[in-house]
């Protein structure tokens, strides 16, 4: 068995990366099942593909979480819910 103790894994961080990987797999499956991820002109005036929108969602979510941590003492789940709303808006309108 490969020794990965040096990477200091925790189940929380492992879950985080598994979710990212699952998202990438889901996007691949989506494109395969329903091709049509060509660029679309959204409200920001950008031409974005589905992959671009995922990237914008993930990057924005990272900053939402950082902003939540830096500006509030509330549980981080609030930031996660806000990120999901943000990601939905990105996929819908950007």
Partner 1 sequence: MTKTWNNRAWFLVLPVLLLVAFNAIIPLMTVVNYSVQETFGNNLFFLEGTKWYQDVLTSSRFHASLLRQFTFTFIILAIEIPLGVAIALTMPRSGPWVSVCLVLMALPLLIPWNVVGAMWNIMALPDIGLLGYGLNKLGIPYNFTRQPFAAWFTVVLMDVWHWTSLVVLLAYAGLRSIPEAYYQAAKIDGASRWSVFRYIQLPKMNRVLTIAVLLRFMDSFMIYTEPFVLTGGGPGNATTFLSIDLVKAALGEFNLGIAAAMSIIYFLITLLVSWIFYTLMMRGDEQ
Contact residues toward partner 1 (CB under 8 A) are 5-10, 12-13, 16-17, 45-47, 55, 59, 62-63, 66, 69-70, 76
Contact 39, 27 (CB under 8 A): no
The nearest distance, CB 77 to partner 1, in angstroms, is 12
Contact 60, 85 (CB under 8 A): no
The nearest distance, CB 69 to partner 1, in angstroms, is 5
Contact 32, 8 (CB under 8 A): no
Using the minimum distance from each CB to partner 1, give the nearer residue, 17 or 88.
17
């Amino acid at each position: 068995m490969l020794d990965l103790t040096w990477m200091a894994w925790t189940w929380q961080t492992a879950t985080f990366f598994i979710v990212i990987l699952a998202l990438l797999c889901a996007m691949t499956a989506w494109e395969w099942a329903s091709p049509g991820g060509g660029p679309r002109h959204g409200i920001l005036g950008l031409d974005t593909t589905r992959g671009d929108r995922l990237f914008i969602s993930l990057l924005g979510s990272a900053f939402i979480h950082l902003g939540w941590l830096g500006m509030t003492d509330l549980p981080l789940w609030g930031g996660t819910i806000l990120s999901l709303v943000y990601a939905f808006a990105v996929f819908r309108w950007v």
